[in-house]
A and B are shown apart, each in its own frame.
Chain A
């Protein structure tokens, strides 16, 4: 199984600050079609998860460009610029390249 390791497990941030979350996979996430199925989701308190970024760097509709995703192969990063209060919650990376699909353990973004 592909193990997804997210760091840090938690982050305290001030509004307006920028943060980065790392996600490393135990094997390459490049699929046979050449695409990399690594996604980022946010779960706000008491809510269902919401996908923010798909295939490493593509923002979903309505997601502000303060969010950006980078990376390749086994090493990926989510960056949030100018954090706002509505950005707080738990961020997950997820891979859908290899079955079984797996999630990272989550990074909790809290207010400092």
Chain B
């Protein structure tokens, strides 16, 4: 059974950093592009980052480029999202997902507030 389990969320002050993790199991993690998607409270889905199978290529929307970094450790079947210079508008539930959104984690809440 495929499982994606996010962790690392919480309450953080504006300007601070937070690192999310996603532990994958039940599939060959190294064969899949992986993505982070977020959903602000009562809002729609927003793509945040994608990483290639080897980790050599990463992609971001302008809203997080330069502040967020996606990475992966294929030996550990783990995906990460380093979030720096956090803003109130980054408050959302963050999901990790496989490639083109086939499998999703349960999500982890990040609240940016003073």
- A residues with a Cβ closer than 8 A to B are 1, 37, 39, 41, 43, 48-51, 54, 60, 90, 92, 94, 96, 99-106
Contacts and interface: CB of A to CB of B under 8 A. Distances in A.
22 contacts: A39-B101, A41-B45, A43-B45, A48-B104, A48-B105, A49-B37, A49-B101, A51-B101, A51-B102, A54-B100, A54-B102, A60-B102, A96-B101, A99-B50, A99-B59, A100-B47, A100-B59, A100-B60, A101-B35, A103-B44, A104-B44, A106-B44
Given A39-B101, A48-B95, A48-B105, A101 B45 contact: no
A6 to B, nearest CB: 9
Contacts of B106: 48
Interface in B82-105: 95, 100-102, 104-105
B44 A92 contact: yes
Interface of B: 35, 37, 44-47, 50, 59-62, 95, 100-102, 104-107
Contacts of A43: 45
B104 A49 contact: yes
A90 B45 CA distance: 11
A37 to B, nearest CB: 6
A60 to B, nearest CB: 7
